[in-house]
Structure 1
C-alpha cells in the first residue's frame, strides 16, 4: 500500500461548548484557509455520554473537509496541563533532554511516570560569562491525552500532533503577523468554561495562566435575572451582547462595573437558581417605591467584574513578580470577545488602551473565497486556536 504525504492540515479545537476547525494549506510563505467549520456540542448528551457528544460534534464540524488528504492537529485544554519556563546555563545540546527532565522532576507536581513531557528551546541569551537557555516545558497526564485520543478514535480521525490551546494562540498570532517587535502582548482567549492568558514578549512565550471563569457565568446571570433556561439565556447573550457597553447600555443608562477583591461562588452549570429569583425580586421591590428596570448590562456587571479581578491578578504577577515589561497590547479571542462591555472593563482596570479582537481573516493569512468566518453568531475570533493548530501542523509539512 502506498501512503501519501498529507498536503493539507486540519486544526481541530475542541472546547466545552463547541468544536471549531480550519483546513489549511501552505501557499508560498503564507497560509491559506480553505475551509472552516463549527459545531455546537449537545449539552444534554454531553452530560450522559461526553465521548459520543464530542465525537458527533467533531464529525459535524469537519463534514466536507478533505480528511483523507489532511494531517490532524489537536489541542489539550490549558487547564489540564502544566507549563513551566526553566532556565538552564551552558548545557550542551546533546545533554538538554536529561537536563530538562531533571528540571521537570523538581517543578512538575506529578510523578514523571504519570505524565508525557515535551519541551522546546525558546532562546539563548548571554548572562555574564555563561549562556542562559530558556526552555518551554509542557507536562500532560496520560489520562488527559487518552481522553483526547478517545474522542478522535470514535470520530474516526487520527491526530498527528497534539499541542495546547494556549500555545496555539501564539502560533496563530505569529502566523497572522499580529506581533510587533519588542512588544509585550497578552493573548486572552475567552472560552465557555475557562479563560486562557498567554503573555508574550517580542513574539516569544513568557507566561501562561488559565482562569476558571467562562461565558457560562454570563449565561447563568442572564438566566437568573430573566427567568430563562440555559439555551435561551445563551441566545440572549449572543444576540444582545454585541451592543452592550461598560459606559452605557442599549437604553443609554450608565453601567458601573466594580472590580471586586474576591470572586463569588457561582451556581452549577445546570442549576440557574431560578427558584430564588422571585423572593429576591420582591425584596428589591419593597426597598424602592419606584424601582428602576434592571438592564442586561446590569445583569452582567458582577460576573464581568469577577473576570477582570482574576485577569488583574495575572497581570500583577506577570509584571511585578516576574519583573516583566508592562503589557502594551491585548488581543482577545473566543466566543464572547466581541462584547464591548468586556473590552472596556479590561481596558479601564488594566490601563491598556490597545485591546483588539483577533481576526485571522484580516491578518497575514489568505482566505479562500468560500470561507465565511463571520455569519450569525459566529465570528473570526472564535477560530484563533484552530488557526494556530493548523499553523503548527503546516510547519511540519
Structure 2
C-alpha cells in the first residue's frame, strides 16, 4: 500500500479511532489522527448495529479535521473472530490460500458459508520437525463484515481492505526491535490485545474483553459527569510523562477498578511462562488508548520481577502534526495499513470477480489448445505403438532379474527386525536413566500433605523441578499450601510469584499464584533417625 494516502479507522464499542497515513518503504507518515466517542447503541462487540447514525457522526468528525480522503482500511475489533495458529507443509505463497480453504473445516467447526476465512503468514520454518509455513488463520462472521460495507456506503467511503486488529497490532509492533521476549499489552476501553514477540516473531497472541472502562466509569461517577463526557474522563486519567493526574479517587478505588484487567494480564504471563519455562517473558510494554491510565503500570509491576514500561513511540511511523494523544494510542489503527489480511467477502471484491472472468477466458483458450493437442496425439499413436513393444520386451527382462535377486528382500527384513530390537533397548536404557525419578517422591508428598481445596490449574515438569499454577479459596489457604510445600523432604527450594485475588465468573473469591519447586533434599527438614 506504499505511495497513497490511506484512511485507517478502528471502530470500538466506546471509541472510534481515525488516522490518515502515507505508507512508505522505510518510515510511514501519520498525517492526522484523532478519536471520538462511539455513539451509544451503535456498536456491539464488532457488530455495527446502527450504520446510519455512526456514519453521520464519522462524516461530521472527518469534516471537523479537514479530511477528504475516501480510501479507507478498517481495523476489525471483535471477540467473535475465531483464530488458529497452524503449520502447513512448506509451499509457495501462491498455494497457501488453497491449502487454507481446503482445511478450513478442520480449523473451525462452523458453517463455512456464513464466514470469511483468511490468513496471515507469520514465518517460514526451514528446519526441525515443524518445518513449514506458520500461519495465523482467521474466521470472521459475514454479518459483521457486511456492516462495515454498509457503514462505508452511508459515509461515502471506498473500502480498500478490512484487517483483523490482532494482525494490525502484530504488524505495527514487530519492528520495535526487542531481542528479549516482550509482551505488548494493547489496552483499550473495553478490550485488551496481548502479543508476545521476540525479535519480530509472534510467539503467542491473546485477547480478553476487559479494558480501562471500569476505572473511567468509576471516575465519571465520582465527578458526576454525563455519558457524553467519556473521552474527557479518559483524558483526565492519563499519565503524561512524570505528571500524574489529580483526581478524587483513592488508591484503593483505582486498584479495585483495575483488578480484573491486571488479573487477566497476570494469568496470561503465568500461562506463557509455564509453557515456555526456558524462554519466559522478560519485559511488559503497555500501549493503547488506556495504556497510560493512572496506577496501571505500577499495579502490573507489583505482580512481577520484570520491567513494565509505557511505549514512547512506534518504530517506522512519524507524526507530521502535533496530536492530542500519543501515537501509541493508535497501534491497531495505523497497523491495519501495513500488511492487512484479506477480509473482504467475495461479493464485495471487484478483483475477485475480475479473476473469475479471466478464468472463463482462460478455459476457452485452454479448450482450443486441447483440441490442437488431441490432433497431434493421433499423429503420434503410430510412433508410440512401436515404443510400447520395445518397452514390453525390456519389462520382461527386468522381471527376470527381480526373480534372481529375491533373496535380498529376506536379508533386509532380518536386518530391520534386528534394528527394531536395538532401538527398543536403547529407549529402555534412556528411560531407566531418566533424572525425573525424583518426581515420584514429590507426587507422593503432594497427595499426602496438600489440603483438599487446592486446585492445580497447570503444571510443567522438568528435569530439575516442577512449575505449577495453583488456585485456592483464601489467602490463608494459600499460605498453608506454600508452608506445606516448603516442608516437603523432596524439595530443596520453593519460589512463589504472582499472587492475585479476585472473584471468578460465579462470584466466588479465589486466590491464585505460581510456584516453582526444585527437586533435592530439603535442608530445613531434619533427617529421620536410623532404627
Answer yes or no: same fold by TM over 0.5. Answer: yes
| 1:12–1:106 distance in 2 versus 1, CA, 3 Å | same
**Structure 1: tracts of 5 or more residues without a match:** 252-293
Q: Normalization by structure 1: what TM-score?
A: 0.73
Aligned to 1:344: 298
| 1:117–1:27 distance in 2 versus 1, CA, 3 Å | closer
Q: Deviations over 1:183-234 (max 9, x none)?
A: 3222222112111112223212332221111222113333455655445576
Offset of residue 74 of structure 1: 0.9
Matched, 1:201 2:198: yes
Q: Which has the larger radius of gyration?
A: 2
**Structure 2: tracts of 5 or more residues without a match:** 341-531
Secondary structure class of the residue paired with 1:183: coil
Secondary structure class of the residue paired with 1:67: coil
Aligned to 1:372: 322
- Summarize the alignment of residues 302-313 of structure 1 with structure 2, pairs less than 5 Å apart: 302-313=256-267
In structure 1, how many angstroms separate the alpha carbons of the residues matched to 2:102 and 2:25? Answer: 41
Matched, 1:326 2:323: no
- Summarize the alignment of residues 18-29 of structure 1 with structure 2, pairs less than 5 Å apart: 18-27=15-24, 29=26
- Summarize the alignment of residues 247-286 of structure 1 with structure 2, pairs less than 5 Å apart: none
Offset of residue 91 of structure 1: 5.2
Q: 1 or 2 for the larger relative contact order (CA 8 Å, sep ≥6)?
A: 1
| 1:298–1:188 distance in 2 versus 1, CA, 3 Å | same
Q: Deviations over 1:14-46 (max 9, x none)?
A: 222222222222455321222223332233777
The alignment covers a number of residue pairs equal to 333
Offset of residue 308 of structure 1: 0.9
Aligned to 1:117: 117
In structure 2, how many angstroms separate the alpha carbons of the residues matched to 1:137 and 1:45? Answer: 28
1:195–1:212: 8 Å Cα contact kept in structure 2? yes
Aligned to 2:13: 16
Q: Deviations over 1:30-77 (max 9, x none)?
A: 212222233322337779973233213322343322415xx3211111
Aligned to 2:30: 33
Secondary structure class of the residue paired with 2:306: coil
In structure 2, how many angstroms separate the alpha carbons of the residues matched to 1:364 and 1:93? Answer: 25
Aligned to 2:56: 56
Offset of residue 9 of structure 1: 1.6
1:191–1:215: 8 Å Cα contact kept in structure 2? yes
In structure 2, how many angstroms separate the alpha carbons of the residues matched to 1:388 and 1:66? Answer: 21
Q: Normalization by structure 2: what TM-score?
A: 0.56
Matched, 1:137 2:137: yes
